[in-house]
Structure 1
Amino acid sequence: MKNANPWALIPFIVFLVLFIGSGIITGDFYNFPVIVAITIAAGVALAMNRRESLTKKVDIFCKGAGNANVMLMVIIFILAGAFSEVAKGMGAVESAVNLTTSVVPQNLLVVGLFVIACFISLSMGTSVGSIVALAPIGVGISDQTSLSMALVMGAIVGGSMFGDNLSFISDTTITAVRTQGAQMKDKFKVNFWIVLPAAIVTSIILGFLAMGESAQVDHISYNWIKIVPYVLVIVFALIGMNVFLVLVLGIVLAGAVGLIDGSYHFMSLMQQIGDGMAGMYEIAFLAILIAGMVEIIKFNGGIDYILHLATRRIKTKKGAEFSIAGLVSLTDVSTANNTISILITGPLAKNIADQYGIEPRKSASILDLFSCSIQGLLPYGAQLLTAATVAGISPISIIPYSFYPIMVGICGIIAILIGYPKKKNTSGE
């Protein structure tokens, strides 16, 4: 590619040095704010290419940052944050956890925790939020039995990654779909049939390891009405309703339940909506800054260079799919954040997908699958760190029991090898 320029990638290197370097030095990979690292890297990108005026480079940056897909993604992030916070504030999370815990057979508690985490994360759209909700229950179960605390936490983390990879309101799913120009329901269907075997195999392994163990969990109350907004959001999304309308209806339903049962009064509901939106500001601004930086890097020839490296040995469509999987996996190892890794890799993956005829639903699925697989295995990732903190154990001790993330990676590889899904028949048949 005649425009390929490796020097244009310096902003990426600056970002990785700041974010990863500070993590290695301090031992805390969240010590250096990621948004500050991206801002500095974006500044470096603007300072490069002295042949162009700063005004033109700023225009290029703003063109990328204000891309229609990026703006849509930002709005979806904000609405998803509002729904999640409103539902949580009126007790939906607690009721969902209590309901599912009450119906799980006592001799299948570890498998049950995994399945519960799958449902909760699918409803909430956040793996960390699901871990925070379920980890205390897992600690109690481990304390009442001889079950390893690491095994219990591994089951919870695995189930939480299930929804992170599939939920219609997960930031990773939203990002993967928007960057690839895919339909949410199409990506969900592809992803679901890939990860379902992973979830089944994980359940079997967990059941085998916990065989013979049981515990008496005290009866806990729940209110099924509070779970209705979660269920309806999933149903509306599955039938293909516009994602904006899905999230708005979810906010209205969750807010209405909270007002009726006294969890909210009008102003506290408005405050909760505002808090939920504010909680997504960082990821929204990250999306904007990364998109702008990538546009500058692309203009300077950096994207062409990466595409050349990633595709120079690719001879087949499968090779291209493995290239996308490798790119997002390496980026996630570097950033310890699957959403950020998809944001960074998304434009590159889209170019590769277009060049080799990979459908948007498949490229979006690959991005989400492999980023979540790696994220669930990182001892310095938010998921394992959160679970380990609640349980009072080392995050490294959980890794041997992180069966689901491993199985997702394996199933993702198998899906590429067998050519799943088959290309859609565009004739409409």
Structure 2
Amino acid sequence: MKEVRLPTIPEIVIILGAFLALVFSFTLFLDLPIQLALFISWFFVIILGVRLGHSYQDLQKSIMDGITNGLEAVLILVSVGALIGTWIAGGVVPTLIYYGLEFIHPSIFLLATLIICSIMSIATGTSWGTVGTAGIAMIAIGEGLGMPLPLVAGAVLSGAYFGDKLSPLSDSTVLASSLSKVDILRHVRAMMVLSIPAFVITAILFTLTGFVYGGRNIDTEKVEFFKTSLQQYFDIGILMLIPAVIVVVLLALKKPSMPVIVIGALLGAIWASVFQGIDFADAINIAYKGFAIDTGVAFMDGILNRGGIVGMLDTLVVIIFGLGFGGLLEKLGVLKVIIATFEKKLTSAGNVTLSTLIVAFLGNVLGCAMYVSLILTPKIMEDSYDRLRLDRRILSRNTEVGGTLTSGMVPWSDNGIYMAGILGISTFSYLPFMWLSFVALGLALIYGYTGKFIWYVDENSPSDETEYKGEKVANDY
């Protein structure tokens, strides 16, 4: 039997260079689906794996294991797709758009977008669901108010990711904390000391920007036309928001995310039948195929014609292929070899923080899925934290900042594809306005290099793993 070895740095550079060349050529030059590039990339890594001594059967198993680890994301995304379709058909999203155009002043619109999406995301624990419902509404309102749409998208994503990171209901928050062996509430508290200052700074930036743009390009006739069109095609009223209230309350009561989202989708279908005059069988079908309408207004059709399980299939394939690719990278030890090369420099909290952020970001770039980043980063970096006696809360916090908050920045990642597709704005267009993510990354580095909010485990204190199992907590606050 051939002896298994780790890849060398030149081998890693070649394989990852081939991967990036394939991705960029497919997306930028050949106009081919990114999913196909990811699938082909599997075989590049498999060839390297066989060269390193792994059997094909073991490599295939690593693909299956990687996919299995992230199947929860697939289930939630399917549910969110059904929810988006029926909430549009049931008048939930159109009512949000109408009331937004009616009551939100242009000068505070960006701040309102940030706050609304934050509250929605904290209550529901899903950035995907928030962007697919409140986010769509804010984009439509921003168009009516004459706001630059990439800027609006930045406010939507800043709010969605902020709330997601502070919600114990979030699947990514649960994953980052559990793999770092940190109790989820301790993880959330550790995130708060970074996320809340980042939110305040981001809110100030969007407020100032809102005063610059607010009302400058507003077309009152266009706003009235939008409102009239919505009233023409939908029954608008407070009652339309009941499905959203029910879903938020159930999730706030810590009920399981996927069944609650499915209940929300069912309520949307019932509302579409009762209030919007859609046949109930057709309303149920919208949960699968998505909502479709021809209002004669191109932008409005673009906003409303979306959702459904079918509409999520492209992103689902990216997640599956990305998770499989991540499983292969973990099997070969690619990121571990990269970290081991710089291990001698990982002698301070600042350097370890910087390395964690880089590894987490590379998880999104190379694994093409947020789950890949959140799964691999704690496994790769935990020894460096333990060697420096750094509290595992720092590991889980840095994993979240580097993995979750950068996931929407990568055009070929699951979040990048989903966010761009739902909002109708390209990743590179909204990326400069993801201000909360940039501020949080900066604060994480400042904390690391200054020692602010960096906690250590005493030699005689219980280990992080022991603390995670529920015994006495050391260095808590």
Please say if residues 22 and 32 of structure 1, whose CA atoms lie closer than 8 Å, have aligned partners that are also in contact.
no
Q: Give distance in 1, aligned partners of 2:445 and 2:95.
A: 33
Please say if residues 11 and 44 of structure 1, whose CA atoms lie closer than 8 Å, have aligned partners that are also in contact.
no
Q: Which 10-residue stretch deviates more, 342-351 or 246-255?
A: 342-351
Distance apart, 1:297 and its partner CA = 0.4
* TM-score normalized by the length of structure 1: 0.73
Question: Which residue of structure 1 aligns with residue 68 of structure 2?
Answer: 71
Distance apart, 1:225 and its partner CA = 1.4
For residues 242-273 of structure 1, the C-alpha deviation after alignment (integer angstroms, 9 at most, x for no partner) is xxx61244145325534653558589658837
Count, aligned residues: 403
Does residue 129 (structure 1) correspond to residue 128 (structure 2)? The answer is: no
Q: Give distance in 2, aligned partners of 1:399 and 1:289.
A: 26
Please say if residues 166 and 191 of structure 2, whose CA atoms lie closer than 8 Å, have aligned partners that are also in contact.
yes
Task: Tell me the amino acid that sits aligned with residue 52 of structure 2.
Answer: N
Does residue 221 (structure 1) correspond to residue 237 (structure 2)? The answer is: yes
Question: Which residue of structure 1 aligns with residue 320 of structure 2?
Answer: 285
Please say if residues 45 and 296 of structure 1, whose CA atoms lie closer than 8 Å, have aligned partners that are also in contact.
no
Q: Give distance in 2, aligned partners of 1:188 and 1:273.
A: 35
For residues 312-332 of structure 1, the C-alpha deviation after alignment (integer angstroms, 9 at most, x for no partner) is 211134432221112223554
Please say if residues 121 and 159 of structure 1, whose CA atoms lie closer than 8 Å, have aligned partners that are also in contact.
yes
**Pair 358,61 (structure 1): closer, same or farther in 2 beyond 3 Å:** farther
Does residue 418 (structure 1) correspond to residue 462 (structure 2)? The answer is: no
1:88 aligned residue (68, 80, 84)? 84
Distance apart, 1:231 and its partner CA = 1.4
Q: Give distance in 1, aligned partners of 2:60 and 2:179.
A: 17
Q: Give distance in 2, aligned partners of 1:29 and 1:198.
A: 38
Does residue 36 (structure 1) correspond to residue 52 (structure 2)? The answer is: no
TM alignment of 1:30-179, pairs within 5 A:
31=34, 33-50=36-53, 54=55, 57-59=56-58, 61-62=60-61, 65-66=64-65, 71=68, 73-74=70-71, 76-91=72-87, 94=93, 97-98=96-97, 101=100, 104-105=104-105, 107-122=107-122, 123=124, 124-126=126-128, 129=132, 131-142=135-146, 148=148, 150-163=150-163, 165-166=165-166, 172-173=172-173, 176-177=176-177, 179=179
**Pair 186,256 (structure 1): closer, same or farther in 2 beyond 3 Å:** farther
**Pair 387,209 (structure 1): closer, same or farther in 2 beyond 3 Å:** farther
Q: Give distance in 2, aligned partners of 1:86 and 1:207.
A: 34
1:232 aligned residue (236, 249, 252)? 249
Task: Tell me the amino acid that sits aligned with residue 405 of structure 1.
Answer: S
Please say if residues 323 and 367 of structure 2, whose CA atoms lie closer than 8 Å, have aligned partners that are also in contact.
no
Please say if residues 120 and 160 of structure 1, whose CA atoms lie closer than 8 Å, have aligned partners that are also in contact.
yes
SS at match of 2:52: coil
Rg (Cα) greater in structure = 2
Q: Give distance in 1, aligned partners of 2:165 and 2:141.
A: 23
**Pair 132,271 (structure 1): closer, same or farther in 2 beyond 3 Å:** closer
**Pair 105,164 (structure 1): closer, same or farther in 2 beyond 3 Å:** same
**Pair 333,260 (structure 1): closer, same or farther in 2 beyond 3 Å:** closer
For residues 2-33 of structure 1, the C-alpha deviation after alignment (integer angstroms, 9 at most, x for no partner) is 9654166354444333223544544x696463
Does residue 257 (structure 1) correspond to residue 267 (structure 2)? The answer is: yes
Please say if residues 86 and 283 of structure 2, whose CA atoms lie closer than 8 Å, have aligned partners that are also in contact.
no
Question: Which residue of structure 2 aligns with residue 17 of structure 1?
Answer: 21
**Pair 311,137 (structure 1): closer, same or farther in 2 beyond 3 Å:** same
Distance apart, 1:286 and its partner CA = 3.1
1:297 aligned residue (291, 307, 332)? 332
Please say if residues 177 and 396 of structure 2, whose CA atoms lie closer than 8 Å, have aligned partners that are also in contact.
yes
Distance apart, 1:175 and its partner CA = 5.3
Distance apart, 1:153 and its partner CA = 4.2
**Pair 224,308 (structure 1): closer, same or farther in 2 beyond 3 Å:** same
Please say if residues 153 and 398 of structure 1, whose CA atoms lie closer than 8 Å, have aligned partners that are also in contact.
yes
Q: Give distance in 2, aligned partners of 1:40 and 1:153.
A: 36
Task: Tell me the amino acid that sits aligned with residue 228 of structure 1.
Answer: V
Please say if residues 333 and 374 of structure 1, whose CA atoms lie closer than 8 Å, have aligned partners that are also in contact.
no
Q: Give distance in 1, aligned partners of 2:250 and 2:447.
A: 28
* TM-score normalized by the length of structure 2: 0.67
For residues 391-417 of structure 1, the C-alpha deviation after alignment (integer angstroms, 9 at most, x for no partner) is xxx876655544323212222223434
For residues 146-192 of structure 1, the C-alpha deviation after alignment (integer angstroms, 9 at most, x for no partner) is x5555444433433443465566767546545654555544333334
Q: Give distance in 2, aligned partners of 1:267 and 1:148.
A: 36
